[in-house]
Amino acid sequence: MTDLPPKEFKPLVKEFADSFKQFKQGGRPIKHEPLSPADQEELEAFTPDTYGPCTCGSGKKFKFCCKNGFKEIVFAMCAAQDGYLEQALRHMKEAEIKIGTTAEILCRYAICWSFSNRENSTKYLNEALKLNPNHPRTNYILGIEAVQDENFEAAITFYKRAIEHYPKEDKVHLNETYNNLGTAFYKTNNYIDAKAAWENALVLLPKDVMVTNNLFECIYNNPDVPKEIRVISPFILKFIEREN
């Protein structure tokens, strides 16, 4: 349960992983391989612009907001995903020292805990909301939790708030949130809004296979959906045609 699939971190943590491997090999240097073009592309999509708005939704530029502890946050997310909670929390502590106890930091602590202890995770999410009720990532994660509880209406509210407050430049997280919003609408049999959300997600990242599949399987090619809704929206057509 996370908004940060490990593959997105692969390029960011490569150096870190390399030095660990070197340590394991008794200090023998290991071959440094350049990032593949695909990794490079993911890295660029994922790392905010230095002078662009910070993805935490503070309204500040990334450089003057979360950039200082970004590496530590990424390490923490990776460690947490791989099941190393203590290591993740150590990285988060370092990030917190650099950035301060912001909603973003509290939310990242929540993500670390979310893999093993939902109670602790919820505690951090609530603290993050107290600091900033509109913090996009916190709302996104609360949306995921609401889906787990099959409370789709609540999930829709959280996802919408996240979408409203992620910077418009943050296509990766907006795409992800629109995709989840689409699924939540679909679960409530609201095909019109599901279609709109998934199509919005596709406009943000036209190569997204998961979103494309959702649209085709659940909407365009789904006989349960009324015919007039199954029509591919004109603004989507160019992405679909380019792929086929």
Which of 8, 47, 53, 66 binds Zn ion (CB under 5 A)? It is: 66
DSSP state for residue 61 in the 8-state scheme: B
Are 219 and 230 a contacting pair, CB within 8 Å? yes
Q: Is 76 in the site for Zn ion (CB under 5 A)?
A: no
Separation of alpha carbons 146 and 122, rounded Å: 12
Give the footprint of Zn ion on residues 122-181 (CB under 5 A): none
Separation of alpha carbons 200 and 208, rounded Å: 11
Sequence-distant (≥ 6) Cβ neighbours of residue 183 within 8 angstroms: 147, 194, 214
Kindly state the smallest distance separating residue 49's Cβ from Zn ion, in Å: 13
Closer residue to Zn ion (CB): 68 or 222: 68
Q: Is 54 in the site for Zn ion (CB under 5 A)?
A: yes
Q: Is 74 in the site for Zn ion (CB under 5 A)?
A: no
Q: Is 58 in the site for Zn ion (CB under 5 A)?
A: yes
What angle, 0 to 180 degrees and rounded to 10, lies between the N-to-C axes of helices 6-24 and 70-81?
Answer: 90
Q: Which two tokens stand for residue 22?
A: 């070197």
Separation of alpha carbons 13 and 1, rounded Å: 20
Residue with tokens 């109670």: 119
Kindly state the smallest distance separating residue 87's Cβ from Zn ion, in Å: 23
Closer residue to Zn ion (CB): 124 or 185: 124
Closer residue to Zn ion (CB): 58 or 200: 58
Closer residue to Zn ion (CB): 98 or 187: 98
Closer residue to Zn ion (CB): 58 or 212: 58
Kindly state the smallest distance separating residue 54's Cβ from Zn ion, in Å: 3
Which of 12, 56, 125, 205 binds Zn ion (CB under 5 A)? It is: 56
Q: Which two tokens stand for residue 15?
A: 């150096």
Separation of alpha carbons 77 and 32, rounded Å: 23
Q: Which two tokens stand for residue 221?
A: 């090619």
**Could you give the 3-state DSSP secondary structure of residue 53?**
strand
Closer residue to Zn ion (CB): 9 or 152: 9
Separation of alpha carbons 130 and 119, rounded Å: 17
Stretch that binds Zn ion, among 54-62, 145-153, 171-179, 196-204 (CB under 5 A): 54-62
Site string for Zn ion, 189-228 (x = CB under 5 A): ----------------------------------------
Phi, psi of 61 (to 5 degrees): -70, 145
**Residues in contact with Zn ion, total (CB under 5 A)?**
5
Stretch that binds Zn ion, among 40-48, 51-59, 90-98, 199-207 (CB under 5 A): 51-59
Binding site for Zn ion (CB under 5 A): 54, 56, 58, 65-66
